């Protein structure tokens, strides 16, 4: 099976908890005081983790730390931020280049939920495997809150996924060379930081070096 990349959000706080750290290969935390998104690698990309229902084989999970107590029409006190979106798209672009992941296999959890029958509009049914869907419905990643029906949210989810793939493609064009920092597991801190002023990579001396621009305009 070809490798794939899946975007998520954690439904937690801007700083990851122990469950977040166990479920995803990469986490994108957010420092609201400094206005910085931080990319942290938690696990080797060839390790199978539990982040996308029945779709975890050869699947690299990238999750934005955010959305605690969020609903589809109110993203709450810690919504996903524009900088987290950029950071997630950037690191996905690097992974895809190195691993040879086709852009069509860079997807959101919401897309798999729609494919597999456990998106919002199937809360009382069964999924494609015949398993009952009892409230475990997925709508991540939808980038903008909406008061729409489940069918309207499908359209928003699809548009969000396309925007993310466009972002990944743009970063691949800007950063065409592999950055070895991304391959390292550094659990004590970020390997990349993303600010409005640009993207920074962690160096061997623990400092951060600006390596390029954030794609503009921001998605959200």
Among the listed residues 132, 158, 128, the one whose alpha carbon sits nearest the alpha carbon of residue 144? 158
Within-domain flag for 219: no
pLDDT of amino acid 129: 86
Specify the pLDDT at position 148: 84
β-pairing, 36-41 vs 192-195, is: antiparallel
Answer whether residue 129 is part of any domain. Answer: yes
Judged by DSSP in three states, 20 sits in helix
Please tell me the predicted confidence (pLDDT) of residue 219.
59
CA-based nearest residue to 64, from 143, 5, 10: 10
Q: What is the pLDDT of residue 149?
A: 87
The answer to whether position 85 is within a domain reads yes
CA 66 from chain centre, in angstroms, equals 11
Distance of alpha carbon 156 from alpha carbon 139, whole angstroms: 10
Sheet holding 106-108, edge to edge: 106-108, 4-9, 59-64, 26-31, 36-41, 192-195, 198-202, 208-212
pTM: predicted TM-score of the whole model, two decimal places: 0.93
Q: Show pLDDT as tens, one digit a residue, over the chain (220 residues).
A: 569 999 999 999 999 998 899 999 999 999 999 999 999 999 988 899 999 988 989 999 999 999 999 999 999 999 999 999 999 999 999 999 988 999 999 999 999 999 998 998 887 789 888 888 877 678 889 888 888 888 899 999 999 999 999 999 999 998 876 555 555 555 567 899 999 999 999 887 888 989 999 987 655 5
Considering the domain boundaries, does residue 78 fall inside one? yes
* Structural domain containing residue 138: 4-212
Total domains, the chain: 1
The CATH number assigned to the domain holding 175 equals 3.40.80
Q: How far is Cα 173 from Cα 175, in angstroms, rounded to an integer?
A: 6
Q: Is residue 30 in some structural domain?
A: yes
Helix (H, G, I), strand (E, B) or coil at 129: coil
pLDDT at site 132? 86
Residue 218 in any domain: the answer is no
Query: In whole angstroms, what is the distance from residue 52 CA to residue 164 CA?
Result: 18
């Amino acid at each position: 099976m070809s490798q794939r990349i899946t975007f998520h959000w954690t439904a937690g706080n801007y700083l990851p908890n122990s469950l977040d750290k166990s479920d995803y290969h990469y986490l994108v935390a957010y420092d609201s005081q400094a206005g910085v998104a931080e990319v942290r690698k938690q696990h080797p990309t060839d390790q199978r983790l539990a982040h996308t229902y029945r779709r975890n084989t050869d699947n690299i999970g990238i999750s934005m730390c955010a959305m605690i107590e969020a609903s589809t029409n109110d993203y709450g006190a810690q919504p996903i931020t524009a900088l987290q979106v950029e950071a997630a798209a950037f690191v996905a672009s690097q992974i895809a280049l190195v691993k040879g992941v086709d852009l069509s296999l860079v997807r959101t959890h919401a897309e798999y939920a729609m494919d597999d029958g456990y998106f919002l509009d199937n809360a009382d049914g069964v999924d494609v495997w015949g398993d009952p869907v009892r409230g475990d419905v997925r709508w991540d990643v939808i980038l903008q809150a909406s008061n729409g029906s489940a069918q309207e949210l499908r359209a928003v989810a699809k548009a969000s996924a396309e925007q993310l793939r466009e972002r990944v493609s743009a970063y691949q064009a800007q950063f065409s060379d592999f950055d070895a920092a991304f391959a390292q597991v550094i659990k004590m801190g970020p390997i990349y930081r993303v600010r409005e002023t640009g993207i920074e990579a962690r160096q061997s001396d623990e400092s951060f070096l600006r390596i390029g621009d954030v794609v503009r305009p921001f998605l959200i």
